[in-house]
Amino acid sequence: MSNWHIKELKHILRILEVFHLASGLKLNVSKSHEFGVGVESNMVKMVVVVSGYRARSFPTKYLSIPIGSNMRRVSSWGELIQKYHSRLASWKATIISSGGRLTLLKSVMGSLRIYLML
């Protein structure tokens, strides 16, 4: 979001504190992480010490979706495909008619783009 200078980081932390005071909403430090993109590891360590957030590296997962992987590779999609395959397999039950299954499948596949934030 910003240049990796200690001064810039302190400004961001101050903005978050003012936001907290104005709205009553506060970031949960135990659930927040720092990601250094294109910076040296010692700079990320310094940011972690100053901010109190934990450091993470790519690739990682956010809402069960891999982030930072090369998504052009089929292997990167394997886990997500398996997850949806197992969900769709449970719909093979004879309780739902073929028309009902088709409607359900269209609904899930239509909302998949929103879920994946594409």
Extended strands (E) in the chain: 33-35, 54-56, 60-62, 65-67
Same domain, 70 and 96: yes
Residue 1 lies in a domain: no
Shared domain check, 71 and 41: no
For the chain, what is the domain count? 2
CB 33 within 8 A of CB 27: no
- 10, 5, 4, 1: which is closest to 50 by C-alpha? 10
Shared-domain flag, residues 51 and 69: no
Given 37, 57, 77, which residue is the final one in a domain? 57
Amino acid 80: pLDDT = 79
Is 56 strand, coil or helix? strand
* 69 and 26 share one domain: no
- 10 and 52 co-located in one domain: yes
Statement: residue 33 has pLDDT above 70: yes
Q: What is the pLDDT of residue 91?
A: 64
DSSP letter at 69? S
Are both 70 and 28 inside the same structural domain?
no
- On whether both 48 and 74 belong to a single domain, the answer is no
Q: Do 104 and 71 fall within a single domain?
A: yes
Range of the structural domain that residue 76 is part of: 63-115
Residue type, 40: E
Q: Report yes or no on whether pTM surpasses 0.85.
A: no
pLDDT in tens, 13-22: 888 889 989 9
12: three-class secondary structure by DSSP? helix
Q: Are residues 43 and 71 in the same domain?
A: no
pLDDT of residue 64: 72
